[in-house]
Amino acid sequence: LGHSSTTYTLTPEQSANVQGARLSAAMAWHGSSPWISAVTKGAKAEFKRLGINVIAVTEAHYDPAKQVSDLETLTALKPDILLSLSVDSLSTKPSYLQLIKSGTKLVLLSNPISGFSHGADFAGIVKDDVKGMGEAAAQLVAKALFDKGRVGVIYHEANYPITNHRDSAFRKALKRFPDIKIVSEKGFVKKNQTAQLAAAMMIQHHDIDAIYVSWDAAAEGVIEALRISGHKDTKVITHDLGVNNLIDMALGGNMFGTVSDRPNEMGKLMARIGAGAAIGLDTPLYTQVHFNTVTRENIAASWQIAFATELPKLLQQVLKQSEQVKVPE
Amino acid sequence: MIRTALDQIALQVVDLHKYFEDSHVLRGISFTANRGEVVALLGDNGAGKSTLVNCLAGKLLPTRGEILINGTKQVINSPIKAQNLGISVVYQDLALIKEMSVVENLFLNREIMHSNTLLNRLGWLDKKAMEMRANKLLRRLGGEGIELQLPVSMLSGGQQQIVALIRAVNAGANIIVMDEPTAALGSEQCNQVIRLIRLLSSQGATIVLISHNLGQVAKLCDRAVVLYQGQTVADIAVKEVTQLELLALMSGKQCDGVSANQFSEYKS
Amino acid sequence: MIRTALDQIALQVVDLHKYFEDSHVLRGISFTANRGEVVALLGDNGAGKSTLVNCLAGKLLPTRGEILINGTKQVINSPIKAQNLGISVVYQDLALIKEMSVVENLFLNREIMHSNTLLNRLGWLDKKAMEMRANKLLRRLGGEGIELQLPVSMLSGGQQQIVALIRAVNAGANIIVMDEPTAALGSEQCNQVIRLIRLLSSQGATIVLISHNLGQVAKLCDRAVVLYQGQTVADIAVKEVTQLELLALMSGKQCDGVSANQFSEYKS
Amino acid sequence: MMKLSAQVTANTLVYYTFVLTVVVFTFVLHSSAFFSVENWLNIVRQTAPIVVMAIALNVALSAGQLDLSIGAVVALSGLIAALLLPEYGVVIASVVALSLGGAIGAFNGYLSLRLAVPSLIITLGTMVFLNGFVRYLSGLESIPILNKPFLALFGGGSIWGVPTLLLWVLGIAVSVYCVFNYVQLGRHLLATGANVTAARAMGVNTIKVRIIAMSLSGFLAALAGLLYAGRMQSARYTLGESELITVLAAIAIGGCSLLGGKVSIWGTVLGVWLIGILNNGLILSGFSSDVQMMMKGVILIVAVGITFRARKQ
Amino acid sequence: MMKLSAQVTANTLVYYTFVLTVVVFTFVLHSSAFFSVENWLNIVRQTAPIVVMAIALNVALSAGQLDLSIGAVVALSGLIAALLLPEYGVVIASVVALSLGGAIGAFNGYLSLRLAVPSLIITLGTMVFLNGFVRYLSGLESIPILNKPFLALFGGGSIWGVPTLLLWVLGIAVSVYCVFNYVQLGRHLLATGANVTAARAMGVNTIKVRIIAMSLSGFLAALAGLLYAGRMQSARYTLGESELITVLAAIAIGGCSLLGGKVSIWGTVLGVWLIGILNNGLILSGFSSDVQMMMKGVILIVAVGITFRARKQ
Ligand SMILES: Nc1ncnc2c1ncn2[C@@H]1O[C@H](COP(=O)(O)OP(=O)(O)OP(=O)(O)O)[C@@H](O)[C@H]1O
Ligand SMILES: Nc1ncnc2c1ncn2[C@@H]1O[C@H](COP(=O)(O)OP(=O)(O)OP(=O)(O)O)[C@@H](O)[C@H]1O
Ligand SMILES: [Mg+2]
Ligand SMILES: [Mg+2]
């Protein structure tokens, strides 16, 4: 036990066992975003394949009190499997314990819960290579600046382990490039503040060459501010995929590159681990999912890997156009 | 003074009842008012006079009974309806908008619009015209001292009453119901109001006047309708009764001169 | 009727001025009222009577001038202060809380508390006692028909005025200022109020009465103070003038019987 | 269009029960788990701190004051208690937290009257300030609470099978109900809220009364903070932050006017429970969160519409 | 304690300017970048949609109605426009989005009057429903906008050096100001808001007036949505969601009463700008966000306190 893995599969007989067990599953997420939707979608597909009935999905608006309520409400349904991302491990812990007591197998996404023991309390954690993603983002910055330039950082100023770790991994990795300097750092509490922050940052430091933002949705505001203030050459690097920023990237705008994990795969893995645990199989403590570094060249491929869906129509169009534009280059 | 068309019934109320939840406030009110007549509506405090006024004004819907205007049965279910039927009311509580200025109150819903066709369509106000008009109207009722731009809340009690009166009178209505219109007025203003009422009735308007001042009633009114605990107990020519007799009727006592049944002649 | 201690000055107002922004509403008001006296405060609409009342009640702070209660200069900067000085007021706009019931209004800030010491400390109300008391008080002023638990907004205009009156009278104050207390009342209720005022003054209370009804003033009051455009233009014994003379004073005219200077004798 | 009595009316209760039943039946068709005792106790526990917040706001509103800072006071109180508990124990921690709540309320009230600024703006300022302060104080970390007596007193436990949180809710609701129905202070609060000018003219010390209203509101919000902390066995800077809109909704549904002079304690309690039941039922019904939100909006309008029509008749 | 005139007063302007100056000087000490033209244009652009939202709420409040759904209408309008633009072009997309906003407002107004439920509750229901609906419609994704004419019309560009967004703000503010000061409708809105009973007694069709108020509010909110979408070159389901409290604050600071019957268009515009300047200045000052929040709370109270005292004199 206590081992780490990059994948987890069920044999055909195991799958058949699961199907025979007539299991039910619920999901209790921290909030909502395209990313978590993709995880949910992956999990639902896998549950369906395994004949498991999904009975409820909740999202807590990033509010621990709401998540506690959600979890308490789910106890009434007595699900066999619960997939969850905890907003705040400390305050949600008692409610998880209540569910676990009634026989639910818990699979966690990203955030561990301190004091929980693998096997007894939870079946496993599926997570990103957070450190790797931060480092990849630093690589992207270096690539965008040709190893030399000034960088601004707009980070999520809240107690939220995944983004906190990713951001600090980025900062640490950037130190390896001696000619790249972080000249300004500003924290945001809500993602709709980033336009204001970026605008202010650019007014104070006209010569910033690249801005790193904690995640895609927050980066939209940064790009808006850069666009309006006419900073065409300032590059933006972030995490996750979003249509809007990908279009900007494809059109050669401010968006330079992003680091994307694989939410669909994460969902599938969680579902499988939950199913395995529910029929009494051993499950890995950690299951880590790979990520992709996304730039203009590999947008379509990365999208497919991350979400396992068609590329959105508008993005397809834009990509086609920009390829035509690229020909004479 | 010449009364015109006295025989035309302008307003007729037949067996009107009003309940508030289970309290029966109007218990059968019947009376008529002819064109050009000044009819007094008398009654003790709480007799139901203002409730009746509210029914005529479209503020309250009677539970039962009929109201006929110029001989036609009407359901007066909103003040707008009452207005369209040519009824104008001075409410006992004045019903002014205290936060708005005197001119604004005088012309609310009767704004004078700009003469330019386009602006007129937009509802653009002609503030100058309204102010000039307001000044003229105020002078007519002894309200010269009233500052047009002051919010009504800053006027004295009597000044507020003058504003409410002018507003009602200015509507050009055929039936004007006045609920204690001179309660807060000084003697001089009172006299002006009396003169105004005489003028209006001589021009053919029907006036229903509520007043606790029997002297005023005797001077001004043709007929008196007396309410007692929500019922009409008398409908008599003012000249035929003394003030003492009226007082007796108002406090529910029968009196020698007039029997309560006498008024049934006026019914239907 | 025996007037007690007529020579004791209960209330003295000396050269009172009040500005509202730049409008000079009170321009030098001076008068005195002795213990047990009924003083009429007369004046046309907008003369400044209610403004003066508000200054005495602590609702408005005069811009300049002095108010002496029982010979001592006082700054009446809040209604609570006025209450503590033994001044009680019937406001022209009644100042009742329309959303609250009749009993609640009658006893607001004068609640009867439960007799149990602990509950009394907590401010626990004795609702029964208040209702019984209220019933008694209402009967005294012809308000028998008033439903105690009804919110004041549902009472008729006259009934509301009775409630306000009772509230003021029930305070056991030495100086009672009444701003048109009978404006909305019927004749019978009016008479009851007049009797009540006589009773109170015979018990030593000082009454300042504002009324547009000069007949009532003549019957009831000892002295009349006349305001014209914010100034005291006369302060005379009611017996010495006719109603016509008073009317003349109120409209700013000098009259033969009394010179405006005459009242300066009253000034200290 | 006539304003109704400022008195506390209990007879509206019936209609709420009616609405609740309607709502209940909507979910019965979907989920049987809904009808377990366990689930109902869940709802009661989940909504307990919110009920107390709503009562706090009710007290402020009764005197015509709006208190936006209750959410922030909840967070502060929970945090202060959590920080003090390990060293000073349950008595001192709770007393300090509650007094602080009351003091903040009094400060809001005093400032709003002193500066003659609407309480809305002052409490907005306090709210923003405290939001920043609790973030600073907590360093964005959750503070665990391990103190047994505290958790027994304010936490998710039970006494004779009745959840402590339910006892708190009922105790507070009954006390506040009594204040408004049987005590002088209640009358003065309502009179001030209904018509400051008239209340002042009648000699009510409206300034004192409004400051008391705000202090009580702060005090009760702090108590809600303790209940939150007890239930979650920890305190966090986000506590109560997002409940303001729920609280406003519950109060409006409960029949308390936002314009002051009216109060409806049991209406408020039922309002919060109604929303709690809605959330719970919708989750149990297994809809996606989009659909949950859409249905919540529709049911809210329909339920309230039925209530109001029923009440009118 | 006397209520002030329902008229629109322009003379309070001076005091805002005063407060603004105070605030400005607070930041001058910290940052010189604050004083660049670029930065001021930046503030104007960022606050533009919020100003329009605030004016929308002002219109609703003038008639005594509270409209909580404006945030959700903003999101819906932006989204609808973004979805329609690629196929139908700028005219149809904007017209549909704006009409939808107006229709939702009219629906709110109608329902609130028909069911005799406070507009607060109805619009809360609409808000929750629409929040769910836009999430469903967008799939939580931002929808990009590439339509050039749309971006030129509503976007972050400039005409003769003046940002388009500023032109929109001024245009709308002037129009609404005129409605309230020179047009019959404005009088009727204010009369209805100040005293429905009296307005009705005077023959004002208060029902129609209140429905118009809500429709206008919805229409303007939808316009704010287009401005947001234009500025961000995309539409998101979260647009406008969290601005409700800013809008309320700005309106209260601007001197418009939440009780209806009063309106203060320029006060509202300046109120939003004041908050924008505060945010901007604090960001430039380089404080951590905790300290920024704390200072924001304090400055808000102080600035408004000064304004109100100054206005009183
Ligand atoms: N909304 C209401 N609910 C219950 N009772 C009401 C309502 N409105 C009026 N009443 C009652 O109806 C009765 C008649 O009231 P109304 O105002 O018609 O009297 P009035 O004749 O105008 O008296 P006044 O001379 O004092 O003005 C009163 O006893 C009053 O309490
Ligand atoms: N707050 C205010 N601001 C400006 N002017 C005011 C204010 N209050 C009263 N006034 C003015 O002061 C004058 C006197 O008003 P007051 O109410 O004292 O008259 P009054 O003698 O009581 O008249 P009435 O007999 O009509 O009640 C009026 O002209 C009124 O317009
Ligand atoms: Mg009446
Ligand atoms: Mg007066």
Question: What is the residue with the minimal CA distance to atom 8 of ligand 2?
Answer: B154
Determine whether the interchain pair D126/E297 forms a contact, defined as Cβ–Cβ distance below 8 Å.
yes
pLDDT of residue E5 exceeding 50, the answer is no
E308 confidence band (pLDDT: 50, 70, 90): low
List pLDDT tens digits, range B51-104: 999 999 999 999 999 999 999 999 999 999 999 999 999 999 999 999 999 999
Q: Is the CB of C49 under 6 A from ligand 2?
A: yes
**Average pLDDT estimate for D281-294:** 84
Better pLDDT: D177 or E253: D177
CA–centroid distance, E2 to ligand 1, in Å, is 28
Question: What is the residue with the minimal CA distance to atom 29 of ligand 1?
Answer: B46
Residue B49 in domain: yes
List pLDDT tens digits, range D183-225: 999 999 999 999 999 999 999 999 999 999 999 999 999 999 9
Closest Cβ opposite residue B124 in set E183, E198, E202: E183
Q: Which residues of C touch D200 (CB under 8 A)?
A: 59, 78-79
DSSP, residue by residue, B177-223:
EEESTTTT--HHHHHHHHHHHHHHHHTT-EEEEE-S-HHHHHHH-SE
**CATH number, span E2-312:** 1.10.3470
**Average pLDDT estimate for C223-238:** 94
pLDDT of residue E135 exceeding 70, the answer is yes
User: What integer pLDDT is reported at residue C261 of this predicted model?
Assistant: 41
Q: How many domains does chain C have?
A: 1
What DSSP state is assigned to residue B43? E
HSE-CB at A157 with a 13 A cutoff on CA atoms is 22
User: What integer pLDDT is reported at residue D313 of this predicted model?
Assistant: 53
Closest Cβ opposite residue B101 in set E5, E183, E200: E5
E183 touches chain B (CB under 8 A): yes
CB A268, CB A232: distance < 8 Å? no
Atom number of ligand 1 nearest to Cα B54: 18
User: What integer pLDDT is reported at residue D245 of this predicted model?
Assistant: 85
Give the whole-number percent of chain D exceeding pLDDT 70.
Answer: 88
User: What integer pLDDT is reported at residue E260 of this predicted model?
Assistant: 79
Question: What is the residue with the minimal CA distance to atom 27 of ligand 2?
Answer: B157
Strand partners, A182: A151
Note down the domain range covering C105: 9-267
Give pLDDT < 50 ranges for chain A. Answer: 1-2, 327-329
Q: Is the CB of C146 under 6 A from ligand 1?
A: no
Residue C3 in domain: no
B267 confidence band (pLDDT: 50, 70, 90): very low
To test the pocket of ligand 2, the residue of C21, C41, C50 to mutate (highest count of ligand atoms within 8 Å of its CB) is: C50
D308 confidence band (pLDDT: 50, 70, 90): low
User: What integer pLDDT is reported at residue D12 of this predicted model?
Assistant: 58
**Average pLDDT estimate for D275-303:** 84
User: What integer pLDDT is reported at residue D255 of this predicted model?
Assistant: 75
D and E touch with 3+ CB pairs <8 Å, answer yes
Give which of C96, C146, C156, C216 to mutate to test B binding, by max B Cβ within 10 Å. C156
DSSP-derived pairing of the beta strands A210-213 and A180-188:
unpaired
B151 touches chain E (CB under 8 A): yes
Which ligand has the nearest atom to the CA of B185?
2
Q: What is the CATH number of the domain that holds B138?
A: 3.40.50.300
Atom number of ligand 2 nearest to Cα B145: 29
Nearest-CA distance D67 → chain E (Å): 13
* Other beta carbons within 10 Å of A306: 23
List pLDDT tens digits, range E153-178: 998 788 888 899 999 999 999 999 99
Q: Which of residues 4-33 of D touch C (CB under 8 A)?
A: 4-7
List pLDDT tens digits, range B210-254: 999 999 999 999 999 999 999 999 999 999 999 889 999 998 876
**Average pLDDT estimate for C137-163:** 91
- For E286: left if phi > 0, alpha if psi spans -120 to 50, otherwise beta; the answer is left
Q: Which residues of A touch D239 (CB under 8 A)?
A: 65
pLDDT of residue C264 exceeding 50, the answer is no
Q: What is the ipTM of this complex?
A: 0.90
DSSP-derived pairing of the beta strands E162-163 and E158-159:
antiparallel
Residue B1 in domain: no
User: What integer pLDDT is reported at residue D240 of this predicted model?
Assistant: 86
Which residues make Cβ contacts (< 8 Å) with residue D244, sequence separation at least 6?
Answer: D68, D70, D71
What DSSP state is assigned to residue D264? -
Strand partners, C178: C90, C209
pLDDT of residue E26 exceeding 80, the answer is no
SS3 C227: strand
CA distances from C120 to B125, C109, C111, C128, D203 (A): 60, 14, 11, 15, 20
User: What integer pLDDT is reported at residue B74 of this predicted model?
Assistant: 95
CA–centroid distance, C182 to ligand 2, in Å, is 19
E18 confidence band (pLDDT: 50, 70, 90): low
pLDDT of residue C217 exceeding 80, the answer is yes
User: What integer pLDDT is reported at residue E202 of this predicted model?
Assistant: 94
Which ligand has the nearest atom to the CA of B163?
2
Write out the two tokens for E125: 């229901």
CB B116, CB B110: distance < 8 Å? no
H/E element, E75: helix E70-114
User: What integer pLDDT is reported at residue D28 of this predicted model?
Assistant: 62
User: What integer pLDDT is reported at residue A321 of this predicted model?
Assistant: 83
User: What integer pLDDT is reported at residue B268 of this predicted model?
Assistant: 33
Q: Where are the domains of chain D?
A: 2-312
User: What integer pLDDT is reported at residue A2 of this predicted model?
Assistant: 43
pLDDT of residue E302 exceeding 90, the answer is no
User: What integer pLDDT is reported at residue A143 of this predicted model?
Assistant: 95
Determine whether the interchain pair D191/C100 forms a contact, defined as Cβ–Cβ distance below 8 Å.
yes
**How many residues can be counted in chain A?**
329
User: What integer pLDDT is reported at residue A270 of this predicted model?
Assistant: 96
C167 confidence band (pLDDT: 50, 70, 90): very high
CA–centroid distance, B87 to ligand 4, in Å, is 29
Q: Is the CB of C48 under 6 A from ligand 2?
A: yes
